[in-house]
Structures are given as structure tokens and as C-alpha cells.
Structure 1
């Protein structure tokens, strides 16, 4: 496995552990829709959380949250709609970004709640 894939997998597991520690119930990790996936789907209270995890080895080039573009947002919204229909879920939906960056032997975690809203069509 390529080093960047290993780093990404490690970052996703750190994000899952972080969410669990903070009271989230993890429903799915790496849920596939078409040829892509949603990193984490969780529940907190009455809200369905769709979390995109971005792991980088450094912040020097681009902050991980800046890697979410319009096509990624469209995919996440479409995939979330499919997940909701498949599971017959009736909850508020929130789209979060969790950035994970190694820093001085620790992991810096930034959880951005309501990182974006679905575009109005």
C-alpha cells in the first residue's frame, strides 16, 4: 500500500476514535456509493453526520479542509441522499470536515462542524 494511503487510513481511524470519544455513534466507515466513498457516517443526538476526513503529513502546502471542492460536495450530497433512502433515516443532516495532521509526535485534529451546506438546485 502506498504511504499516502496508509496515512489516509490512519487519519480516518484517528477521526473515528475522536468522534466516538466525543459521543458520536459511528454507523459506517468508508461507505461506498458508485465508485467513491463517504469516509464516516455517524449520529449525534438527532443529527446524521457525514464527515469527510482529510489527512496530510504537513499543513505547509494546503490545509486539509481546502481539499473539498464543489464536485466533492456534490458527490457527498448525492451519496448521503442514497444512504438516507437505503436506511430510511429521518434526521437533520450535517456535513463536517475532520482534518488530521501529525505534529510533534501527536495528531492535531480539527473538527469543522457544518463545514458546508448542500447547494440549492
Structure 2
């Protein structure tokens, strides 16, 4: 398997564990709609949380969360709209980013950014 795919899977597993320990219920993982994939869909306090996980081995090109650009946010919002429709969810939603940065020794820092963005209407 390509190394970057393995890194991504490792990051998603760490993010899922983090959310579960923080009391979130995991509803779905790697949920796709069209060209978008939502890494983790969680639920806590009557809020559906759409979570994008970004994992990197360095920050020379920016922090992991910097890679959730406007295009990605729009795709996530479109997928979230479909998920909300399918689940008939009437409550609040939130978009989070979990950024994971590994060092050369295999240690990592996990940064859970709640309410990281709100996609603009298109």
C-alpha cells in the first residue's frame, strides 16, 4: 500500500479513538457522496459533526489543517447536506478538522479544531 494512504488510515484511526474517548458516537466512516468523502461522521449533544482528518509527517508546506481549502469545504458541505437529508436530521451540525502531525520518531500531535469552518452558501 502506498505510504501516504497508510499514513491517512493511521490518522483516521487515531482521530476515531480520540473522538470516542471524548464521548462522541461514531455514525459513519469514509462516507462518500459524489466526489466528496467525509472521513468521520460523529454525534454528540444532538449535533452531527462532520470531521475531516488531515495527517502529515511535516509542516514544511503548512499545517495539516491548512489543506482543507475552500474547494474541499464545498465538497464536504455538499456531502453533509445529502447526509442530513438522508438521516432527516433536524438539529445542529458542525464541521471539525482533526489535524495530526507526526515527527520523524513516530510521535504525533493531535489538534481537534471544533467548528473549524462553515461552508459558504453556493
Bin for the TM-score computed over the shorter chain: over 0.9
2:73 corresponds in structure 1 to 73
User: Is 1:27 matched with 2:27?
Assistant: yes
Calculate the TM-score normalised by the size of structure 2. Answer: 0.93
Q: Which whole-Å deviations, capped at 9, do the CAs of 1:55-86 have from their partners, x for residues lacking one?
A: 00112321011001111111111100100111
Which 4+ runs in 1 deviate beyond 4 A? Answer: none
Paired residues in the alignment total 121
In structure 1, how many angstroms separate the alpha carbons of the residues matched to 2:119 and 2:75? 10
Greater mean alpha carbon deviation, residues 52-61 or residues 103-112: 103-112
In structure 2, how many angstroms separate the alpha carbons of the residues matched to 1:120 and 1:81? 11
Q: Gaps spanning 5+ residues in structure 2: where? A: none
In the TM superposition, 1:24-103 aligns within 5 A as 24-103=24-103
Calculate the TM-score normalised by the size of structure 1. Answer: 0.94
Secondary structure of the 1:51 match is: strand
User: Is 1:113 matched with 2:91?
Assistant: no
User: What's the offset of the Cα at 1:8?
Assistant: 0.5
Greater mean alpha carbon deviation, residues 53-62 or residues 20-29: 53-62
RMSD: 1.2
- Structure 1 residues 82 and 65: CA distance shift in structure 2, 3 A: same
User: What's the offset of the Cα at 1:118?
Assistant: 2.2
Greater mean alpha carbon deviation, residues 99-108 or residues 12-21: 99-108
